[in-house]
Structure 1
Amino acid sequence: MTDLLAVYDAHLRTAAEVHGVPDVQRRGPLWIGRVGGGRVFVTYRELDDPAAHVSEIVSLLAEDETIRHAEWKTRTHDEAPGLTEALTAAGFTPEPPESVMLGEASTLIDASAPDGVTVRRLTGSDDIRAALEMQDAVFGGAPMVDTMLPTLLAPQADGAVEVWGAEVNGRIVSAGRIDPIPGTPFAGIWGGATLPEFRRRGIYRALTAARVRSAMARGVQWIHADCTDYSRPILERAGLVKITETVPWVWQREE
C-alpha cells in the first residue's frame, strides 16, 4: 500500500509549492515566494530551530515595507516544537485548519454536469476575473482578483495552470484551478468555490472531474488538495484520502 503521507512530504512540499511563483527566495530551510500585491508565502520541509526561523521572517517583514500580507503554512504531522508559539509571538494568527487530500486522479473523473450547468475551461480575462470575484465573495479576506489575475493571465511556457468554471445562465457559480507540477505526475486542485445557493447539486464534483480529466490528458496520475470541511466530503466520496491537516498562519501589516 502506498504511504501517501511519505509521497506528500517527498514530492509536494517546498519547491512544488512555489513553482510558477516569479520571485522565490531561500533562507535556510525556508522557501519564501512573493506572489504579487505585497503578499509572501512561507513554507518548509523540516525546521531545526523553529523560533530562529520565525525570527528570520520577522526581520524580513521589518526590512521590507512593501510586504503587506504574509502566510506561513504549518502541518499537523510535522515535528516543530515551539513553532506555533513563535508564530503567535510574531503577530501571526491561525486560520481554520484545512484537510490535505491525496489520491489517484482516475478516482475523480466519473461525474458529469447537472442539467442547466455548463462546465468549461476559462481563458479570457473577463471570465477569469468573474471567477476570481466569485471566489472572493465566497471566501472573503484579501481579494484574490487583485493578486492572482495578473499571474493567471501571464503567458506560461508550459501552460501549467488551468482555470475552470461552472456556469448557470451565463453566470459563473463555481470555479477552481488545476495546477500540474512540471516534471512530476502530480497536480493540485485549488481555489474551489461554489456560491451557497448552488451547492449540493453536484456542480463542484463535476467541476473537479473536468479539471482532473484535463490534467490526466497531460500525464497527471495523482491529485492533491488543501480543502475546507465543505469540500472534503466531496473529495472523499471521489476517492481522495485525508493524510494530514495544514493551518495557514497569517500576518497583516497594520495600516
Structure 2
Amino acid sequence: MNHELDRELDHELDHEAVLARYDRQIRRDAQTDSPGARVERAGAVVRQIGAEHDWNGVHWADVDASTADAVIAEQVRYYTSAGREFEWKLHSHDRPADLADRLRAAGFVPEPPETVMVAEVAGLPTEPQLPEGVRLFPVTDAAGVRLMADAHDVAFGADGSGLGERLAKRVLTQLTETPDTIVAVVAMAGDVPVSSARMELCPGTDFAGLWGGGTAPRWRGKGIYRALVAHRARIAADRGYRYLQVDASDDSRPILRRLGFVQLSVTTPYVYQP
C-alpha cells in the first residue's frame, strides 16, 4: 500500500490529501472491476468498456471549457458504436464547473446523486452486531450469488429491470475469475435473504469500496447495514487496506456518518443510452 501522505492524522482525515489520493488511485489509475471488461486510457479520458452486464463508463476526464464538448462527443461515438449504454461518473469537484450542463446538452440523463464518503479502516467497528435470528452468509459460489439476487429483489422490489440478475452475473464472474477483487455476503433471516452487500477490492491501492446493503423493509432499522459494514471493515483490515469508500445514498449517509465516515465529494451518474 502507498502511505506517503504521513500528515494524515489517525482520527481526522486530511480532506485534500485523501481526495487527491482517491482521484489518482481510483479514477486516473482505475482498474477493471470485471474480468470481462477493460480499462482504456484514450487521450484525456480514462474509461471502462465491457459486456452489457459490466459497468461501462468514464472514470476520469482531464478537460476544460475549450475541450470538454469534443471529448464528450467522442465518448458518445465510441460507446454508441459498441452498442453500449454508458455512464459519465461526474464528481462535484470535477472541472469545468459547467460540465454537468454540457453532459445534459449532449443527451445524458442524470441519476440521483450520491455522497462519496471515506473512513480509515483502523477507526471503524469490525465486530458485526446482528439482530436475533439473522446471520451472515459468505457468498463464494453460484448458489450464494442467487441469494444475493433474491436479497436485492426483496430489498428493492422485482421491478423487471433485471438489475439484480445483471449484478449477480457480474459478481459470479468476479468470484470465479478474480476472487481477490471481491468479497460478497448475504444477511439471512432463517432461510430468507434479507440483505446483501459486497466489497470491491483494488489491489495495490489504499481503498476498498463498499456496495449494496439494501435491506428488506421489515428488517430495516435493526442494525443489519451497520453489521455488514463492520464485517467488510474487518476483512479490509486483514488485507491491509487503509480506507473504505462508499457512494452513499440518502438512506445510508447518516448511518455511515455515525460510524465515522466523512464526505469527500458528491458523485452523479450521467447516463447515455444509444
TM-score (norm 1): 0.88
1:172 correspondence with 2:163? no
Equivalents in 1 of 2:71, 2:111: separation in Å? 20
Partner of residue 148 from structure 1, selected from 160, 164, 167: 167
> Quick check: 2:207–2:244 contact (8 Å CA) kept in 1?
yes
C-alpha spacing 1:148/1:235, structure 2 compared with 1 (3 Å)? same
After superposition, where does 1:12-91 map in structure 2 within 5 Å? 12-16=26-30, 18-20=32-34, 22-37=37-52, 40-48=56-64, 49-64=67-82, 66-67=83-84, 69-91=85-107
Equivalents in 2 of 1:240, 1:18: separation in Å? 25
1:225 correspondence with 2:246? yes
C-alpha spacing 1:37/1:162, structure 2 compared with 1 (3 Å)? same
Deviations 1:51-102 (A, max 9, x none): 11111112123423x31x2111101112224322221122211111100001
> Quick check: 1:179–1:189 contact (8 Å CA) kept in 2?
yes
Deviation for aligned residue 1:30: 1.6
Deviation for aligned residue 1:5: 2.2
> Quick check: 2:72–2:106 contact (8 Å CA) kept in 1?
yes
Amino acid at match of 2:262: V
Deviations 1:153-211 (A, max 9, x none): 23334522011111101111111111221012321111221122211000110011111
Partner of residue 115 from structure 2, selected from 84, 99, 104: 99
Equivalents in 1 of 2:243, 2:160: separation in Å? 30
Deviation for aligned residue 1:223: 0.6
Equivalents in 2 of 1:215, 1:35: separation in Å? 27
Deviation for aligned residue 1:232: 0.8
Which residue of the partner structure matches residue 4 of structure 2?
none
After superposition, where does 1:122-161 map in structure 2 within 5 Å? 122-136=139-153, 138-139=155-156, 142-154=161-173, 155-157=176-178, 159-161=180-182
C-alpha spacing 1:236/1:93, structure 2 compared with 1 (3 Å)? same
1:10 correspondence with 2:27? no
Deviation for aligned residue 1:244: 1.1
Deviation for aligned residue 1:17: 5.7
Which residue of the partner structure matches residue 116 of structure 1?
133
Deviation for aligned residue 1:18: 3.4
What is the CA RMSD across the aligned residues, in angstroms? 2.2
1:207 correspondence with 2:225? no
Equivalents in 1 of 2:41, 2:120: separation in Å? 31
Amino acid at match of 1:180: L
C-alpha spacing 1:51/1:136, structure 2 compared with 1 (3 Å)? farther
Which residue of the partner structure matches residue 11 of structure 2?
none
Amino acid at match of 1:5: L
C-alpha spacing 1:15/1:150, structure 2 compared with 1 (3 Å)? farther
- Find the residue that maps to 1:151 and give its secondary structure: helix
